[in-house]
Structure 1
Amino acid sequence: MSMVQIRKVEDLIVKYQKKKRTVAGIIVEPIQSEGGDNHASDDFFRKLRDISRKHGCAFLVDEVQTGGGCTGKFWAHEHWGLDDPADGIFILQTTFRKKMMTGGFFHKEEFGTNAPYRIFNSWLGDPSKNLLLAGVINVIKREDLLSNADHAGKALLTGLLDLQTWYPQFISRVRGRGTFCSFDTPDESIRDKLILIETKPVAEPKLLTDLLPFLSGMVLGGCGDKSIRFRPTLVFKDHHAHLFLNIFSDILADFK
């Protein structure tokens, strides 16, 4: 992301201010997930934070997918080195791979409600899920899973970069932070075919090798127009990365 995008954001805010229309806030994803696992630089986000502060806009970080430790820090925005933290963090619960066990957000004191139970029903949450969340956080700390995600992510990213060198016709733009890794394929059809090969069990396998993609636990997902992304759990380790890379390398070698 360049200064051009930064200037566009500020120009839009000024444009609305001239029309007497206040921009309440700027909402960003640390990594644009569904759009294709797109990354911006840490400096980009710091400058965006400066713009929000300059114009009195709230700066909100959507950590639905990046929160919980998969980037090597509990919150992905911790990588940015902000001197003034974000005004609010969204942690919205969905049914798959959202590690927080509950829905909610935290924020600075000035963004609090001025009366009790303003967000009573849908947003109050379930106290039992808070107990589950506390258990998850305790395990993350006790087993040092943030360091594990950072270390295992480097092994995965290094291996993907090697595969990119060996199979540039299938893999490009390898990127990642922690285990939050992804790469591009030439087009959607090749992407979808690769995912199908990796995840679909063989109905009547004739050879043990026919079952390898399924038995290895290789379940990958697509995002954006042509990207494949990785969302392993926090207990994903170096040897898991190497297992995947070996199997995926064999798949690419035979891929047509």
Structure 2
Amino acid sequence: MSNDWTSRRAAAVPRGVAFGTNIFAASARGSHLTDNEGRTYIDFAGGIGVLNVGHNHPRVVGAVKAQADRFLHTCAQVIPYESYVTLAERLNRLAPGDHAKKTAFFSTGVEAVENAVKIARAYTRRRALVSFTGSFHGRTNLALALTGKVKPYRVGVGPFAGDIYKALFPEDDSEAAVAAALASLDRLFKYEIDPAEVAAVIIEPVQGEGGFNAAPPAFMRALRDLCTREGIVFIADEIQCGMGRTGKLFAMEHFGVHADITTLAKSLAGGTPLSAVVGRSEIMDAVIPGGLGSTYAGAPMAIAAAHAVLDIYESEGVIGQGERLSATIRAFLAEAKKKFSCIGRIKGLGSMVGVEFVSPAGEPDGAMAGKVQAEARARGLILLTCGVHGNIIRFLYPLNTDDATFQEGLSILSAALEAATQGN
């Protein structure tokens, strides 16, 4: 049956919409997903980090159903609803920083990025933007210009928005790597753009598509100082690394400094489409009335789902369980590294865990990562790869995965490693 649907998909959907598997979902709950042929998988992909509280959490489903019974849509900019305001208030309280904050809602992560840039430009009256190598900020034209990874996102679809400059993201957390990244910013401001013309610097505290690279705290502190000194808006893109994934609700809480604007999406609303831009009140108010919003921005059912997600975080110990799972998988990978020479660095922060695959010569080995991924899927475990070379397997399991399911997933991963490395 899946072969039939795969053929129909190929005939009906353009090839640019890439599908990582030929699994067709029929139902899902918690950390498990069942396909249309009745096979059940353990899901360590989580809809690319969307399902931090798992598939179909009953409190999220209940909130969506209750909202659907009341009303589906009014357009919040035409007829607002109380839940929009109360969710903004909650995020304003929770986001790092003692300053006054305001929040605007949208539907997708890339909308949040585009609007964060719009707000920063309106506030500073400047044009230029700085992003980083290895970054991913979305697939619209401006976001692609910000994105620091060419394949597959930027191939053959330019030209891109201008006035965007790339600096070096630190390769690791060493002093040398931090110094090299800061030197790249210095060169940028000496040779390519006057910092007085830069509206915003945008950075993922932990890069997602780029390879689960965590920014060194020293680099983030230096970046904060730079932005303050030059009057540049500091944007933290927490679309993948936010909402508890790194062991804190906001990834920026790890660094001892805060952003001026934070973008959120993915796990904000438990699988329903919602994104947010949270920022300093004076910056958020820079755009004139009518300049922000869209027809579906802050849709009622997604707002209701987000309230439920925050309730779950407050009462069910999700972040604590995620930290326990992080310790478990990192210990597993450290032991596996002793056995399998193809395993390189263990990366990321908290439960945003990535493992690097390398050749005998120490070069990135995307083929081996793909083999492990395929072997795991054949045994019932769904994994994702990432990184500029496609050589990193990333783990985005629900943070509330129970211990028994998690151990079963790691057993499958162990078998997949054995199978993929046979003969190597």
Percent identity, aligned pairs only, is 25
RMSD over aligned Cα, in angstroms?
A: 2.0
Give the one of 226, 231, 253 matched to 2:396.
Answer: 231
2:200 matches 1:25? yes
Per-residue deviation, 1:24: 0.7
Q: How do 1:237-248 and structure 2 match up within 5 A?
A: 237-248=402-413
Q: How do 1:130-149 and structure 2 match up within 5 A?
A: 130-149=303-322
Aligned counterpart, 1:207:
none
TM-score (structure 1 length as normaliser): 0.83
2:358 matches 1:190? no
Aligned counterpart, 2:216:
41
Q: Take 1:138 and 1:10, find their aligned partners in 2: how far apart are those partners?
A: 44
Q: Flag structure 2 segments of 5+ consecutive residues without an equivalent.
A: 1-169, 171-177, 359-364
2:203 and 2:237 in contact (8 A); partners too: yes
Counterpart AA for 1:112: M
Aligned counterpart, 2:179:
3
1:88 and 1:108 in contact (8 A); partners too: yes
2:318 matches 1:155? no
2:216 matches 1:53? no
User: Aligned in 2, Cα 1:181/1:37: closer, same or farther, shift over 3 Å?
Assistant: same
Structure 1 residues 8-29: Cα deviation after superposition (integer angstroms, max 9, x where no partner): 21342354565x8601111000
Q: Take 2:282 and 2:218, find their aligned partners in 1: how far apart are those partners?
A: 26
Per-residue deviation, 1:122: 5.2
Counterpart AA for 2:308: G
Q: Take 1:35 and 1:86, find their aligned partners in 2: how far apart are those partners?
A: 21
Aligned counterpart, 2:384:
221
User: Aligned in 2, Cα 1:123/1:26: closer, same or farther, shift over 3 Å?
Assistant: farther
2:283 matches 1:108? no
Aligned counterpart, 1:173:
345
2:260 matches 1:87? yes
Q: Take 2:293 and 2:349, find their aligned partners in 1: how far apart are those partners?
A: 36
2:423 matches 1:251? no
Counterpart AA for 2:224: R
Partner SS, residue 278 of structure 2: strand
Give the one of 311, 322, 337 matched to 1:164.
Answer: 337
How many residue pairs align between the two structures?
232
2:196 and 2:230 in contact (8 A); partners too: no
Give the one of 274, 286, 301 matched to 1:128.
Answer: 301
1:157 and 1:175 in contact (8 A); partners too: no
Structure 1 residues 40-65: Cα deviation after superposition (integer angstroms, max 9, x where no partner): 21121111111111111110000110
Q: Take 1:35 and 1:157, find their aligned partners in 2: how far apart are those partners?
A: 20
Counterpart AA for 1:105: V
Deviates more, 1:58-67 or 1:233-242: 233-242
2:376 and 2:412 in contact (8 A); partners too: no
Structure 1 residues 163-201: Cα deviation after superposition (integer angstroms, max 9, x where no partner): 111112x2111123221101111212111111111113x
Aligned counterpart, 1:210:
none
Per-residue deviation, 1:113: 3.0
User: Aligned in 2, Cα 1:171/1:122: closer, same or farther, shift over 3 Å?
Assistant: farther
1:140 and 1:146 in contact (8 A); partners too: yes
Counterpart AA for 1:193: K
Partner SS, residue 268 of structure 2: coil
Counterpart AA for 1:103: S
Q: Take 1:152 and 1:238, find their aligned partners in 2: how far apart are those partners?
A: 8
Structure 1 residues 132-173: Cα deviation after superposition (integer angstroms, max 9, x where no partner): 1001100111011111111211111111111111112x2111
Partner SS, residue 382 of structure 2: coil
Q: Take 2:418 and 2:371, find their aligned partners in 1: how far apart are those partners?
A: 14
